[in-house]
Structure 1
């Protein structure tokens, strides 16, 4: 269902609105955020230089490093007395990135997530099961407020305690489930272990995100749970979930909330804009945020844009599914590859489960990558639980051949016994980097 008229604006009308809001945002950050004022002064740019949308390309980028450098509140454009909520990243690779919200920001965020849930099939009066984590991570509260604003009965179960999740799904009969695709798959697998048919439930739609996932994973989740699975995108630095959303009618790209965000794709090496259809790094500029407006934020996420009309009737620009993150890209013997591309190959096998990890190690001066995959329990039992069985070794060779044939990478493959690769209650850990540990011990 189309919830807001802005979703069907003509291109001319949308760009007029974007320019008005961009000018207002530019004036705000220049006047109230010393970081932007200095950055723009150094570049010889002022808000008055923005006369059309193309002028945004003259503005400097903002990076995660800039947010960390201004920790904690250096990028806020309002007095702290106006901030009603603060979220932050985990800070595992340095200072966390801190984001703030005014009352109006929270209201706008809830409205956009309500739009997103509606786009994915959610309806007023139905029940939404929210398995995203609550806390400093924006996922749980973002979906929660949007669901309530749409008028759905929201179950704030958060992540973990999988058996209880299943019990609540059976008892409360939700029509929508939200979470990371890897954790929702864990829920479906646990149902099977308990003798429950996952597809025999009340669920109709799934809203999944916070990690890259392939079309093969979508197909697997839809088949297991009997749902339509749609992708949601957002990141705390820009807002949180709801920046863009896939519609259940077409499932062909995520509709960007262009009335609130201006989106670009750039070449991450040259930093030059790329045309529609070409993959590059997503860059977002907020147009309506009060507490933490952000200008040309380099997300690190790889995707492309398209502006053709969608079958659902919406006219907003669509971004492709996220292929991966720049910092997750691996170079395997000279070939660039993302974990989601490897997932695409793995899910073509009927003998393994869709849980995997890439272990990166350093041998001398060279980096090596080993792919760990997990064999299905039924097959493992048939082979006498012998991991050295020749059939398992054949499977390893078959996966190696597919990776070489489809992705042009040569990689060592280790077949692991069932249930030995860690399951996630949030974002799946796909890359295990042993180099960091090695360097601390040299």
Structure 2
């Protein structure tokens, strides 16, 4: 659809959404009380933001699910909850209609990556309460693909499942894709010669960090596709086959804005800011102008793939609250990871920031791939590169091989003290 048609469809969906929540959703009935807003052409700034903090407060005041429910609780069939990385976990419910909308999003993610009914898709993680596992699995089933759950087994066991079942697509975090490659190399398994043609990654910014992407694609001999979403919002974005290096917002389902997190005012397209989302078709448990905390650069126009959907250049650049400042330099952890991934001698790392106002101190632990590596020389090279490119000094120290944790889900390499 051309962009004006997309906008028209969004505004129509927004009207339906607002009519629904004003009628039966206690949370948004309170928030929207007294606000005069015309959905077809009104300024979105007239609608209030929704924040994670107020959703958490609402669930604490009205346990267990809060009041952001448009239908009677008996009509909900799906329960999920957030990871709690940024506070107390939030519980989230979906009706069959809302769940259908979410699986529609995953069908778009898969088809944009060239995945279809002939594929065999491996899900190498233990299914927990997070939404992403389940909705991706159901979306793949709707496409007619073979879906292979690989929870409850080791990384080596999952690699064997890939070989034995001629798996063509793997869904995981960028961190776990790298860890699987590390384990494969340690057991003499040539991943690049496997049947896997594509990896769809999410959960971290790594999929659109060029150095991370290059390392994964080289190890697997396969194309990487990035994606991002959240339990409370759903599967938001996808990477098209024709133009890597960015994420399309699925604008049939999401209305996207970008604001300055300090002034809360909209920023021009192409300017960094915080992503704000309205879930247009998940009416049973909606979010209106939800501040995601994700730092993005949004652009518009026709993509090489033919879509007019808004595009996040470079994907998710980082979390607004993860940015740290060292002697006037604003730095995201993803910028440090981009440097680390250039060094083939680095197996894993951990970044600790000691907040002391403008004099924040940065400590970086680096684990080499082998005990034969000159760890001291490696750390000196890493420190020098960080200073040259990010303009601050980090204390870089080596740690023993195998001593840093490995992650199946979201990596926790960034520590703030």
Q: Please, what TM-score do these two structures have when normalized by structure 2? A: 0.93
Residue 248 of structure 2: aligned partner: 255
Q: Count matched residues.
A: 409
Deviation readout 1:30-52 (Å, 9 max, x if unpaired): 222233222223xx4135x3331
Please report how far the alpha carbon of residue 368 of structure 1 lies from its aligned counterpart in structure 2 after TM superposition: 2.7
Q: Which moved more, 1:31-40 or 1:414-423?
A: 31-40
Q: Which moved more, 1:308-317 or 1:181-190?
A: 308-317
Aligned match of 1:106 in 70, 92, 99? 99
Does 2:140 correspond to 1:147? yes
Alpha-carbon distance change, 272 to 158 in structure 1, aligned in 2, over 3 angstroms: farther
Residue 357 of structure 1: aligned partner: 350
Distance 1:334 1:74 in 2: 42
Alignment of 1:157-176 (within 5 A): 157-158=150-151, 161-176=154-169
Does 2:200 correspond to 1:207? yes
Residue 60 of structure 1: aligned partner: 48
1:256, 1:317 within 8 Å by CA — same for their partners in 2? yes
Aligned match of 1:156 in 143, 149, 163? 149
Residue 406 of structure 1: aligned partner: 389
Alpha-carbon distance change, 312 to 94 in structure 1, aligned in 2, over 3 angstroms: closer
Q: Which moved more, 1:126-135 or 1:280-289?
A: 126-135
Distance 1:279 1:92 in 2: 23
Please report how far the alpha carbon of residue 411 of structure 1 lies from its aligned counterpart in structure 2 after TM superposition: 1.2
Distance 2:271 2:86 in 1: 30
Aligned match of 1:335 in 329, 338, 362? 329
2:254, 2:280 within 8 Å by CA — same for their partners in 1? yes
Please report how far the alpha carbon of residue 314 of structure 1 lies from its aligned counterpart in structure 2 after TM superposition: 1.8
Distance 2:254 2:30 in 1: 23
Distance 1:311 1:198 in 2: 30
Alpha-carbon distance change, 118 to 392 in structure 1, aligned in 2, over 3 angstroms: same
Q: Which moved more, 1:77-86 or 1:124-133?
A: 124-133
Alpha-carbon distance change, 206 to 16 in structure 1, aligned in 2, over 3 angstroms: same
Does 2:388 correspond to 1:396? no
Aligned match of 1:36 in 21, 28, 33? 28
Please report how far the alpha carbon of residue 93 of structure 1 lies from its aligned counterpart in structure 2 after TM superposition: 5.2
Please report how far the alpha carbon of residue 184 of structure 1 lies from its aligned counterpart in structure 2 after TM superposition: 1.3
Does 2:208 correspond to 1:218? no
Deviation readout 1:308-350 (Å, 9 max, x if unpaired): 2221222211113111101221223332211110011112223
Residue 326 of structure 1: aligned partner: 320
RMSD, aligned α-carbons = 1.9
Distance 2:76 2:356 in 1: 49
2:295, 2:319 within 8 Å by CA — same for their partners in 1? yes
1:232, 1:245 within 8 Å by CA — same for their partners in 2? yes
Residue 114 of structure 2: aligned partner: 121
Residue 178 of structure 1: aligned partner: 171
Q: Could you say what secondary structure the match of 1:304 adopts?
A: strand
Please report how far the alpha carbon of residue 392 of structure 1 lies from its aligned counterpart in structure 2 after TM superposition: 3.1
Distance 1:259 1:159 in 2: 36
Q: Please, what TM-score do these two structures have when normalized by structure 1? A: 0.88
Gaps of 5+ in 2: 60-64
Please report how far the alpha carbon of residue 366 of structure 1 lies from its aligned counterpart in structure 2 after TM superposition: 6.7
Residue 76 of structure 2: aligned partner: 83
Distance 2:135 2:176 in 1: 18
Distance 1:278 1:131 in 2: 36
Distance 2:196 2:85 in 1: 35
Deviation readout 1:136-189 (Å, 9 max, x if unpaired): 111211210111011100001147621110110010111110000101111111
Residue 429 of structure 1: aligned partner: 412
Alignment of 1:92-103 (within 5 A): 94-103=87-96
Distance 2:49 2:219 in 1: 42
Q: Name segments (4+ residues, structure 1) moved above 6 Å.
A: 362-366
Distance 1:216 1:160 in 2: 29
Please report how far the alpha carbon of residue 247 of structure 1 lies from its aligned counterpart in structure 2 after TM superposition: 1.2
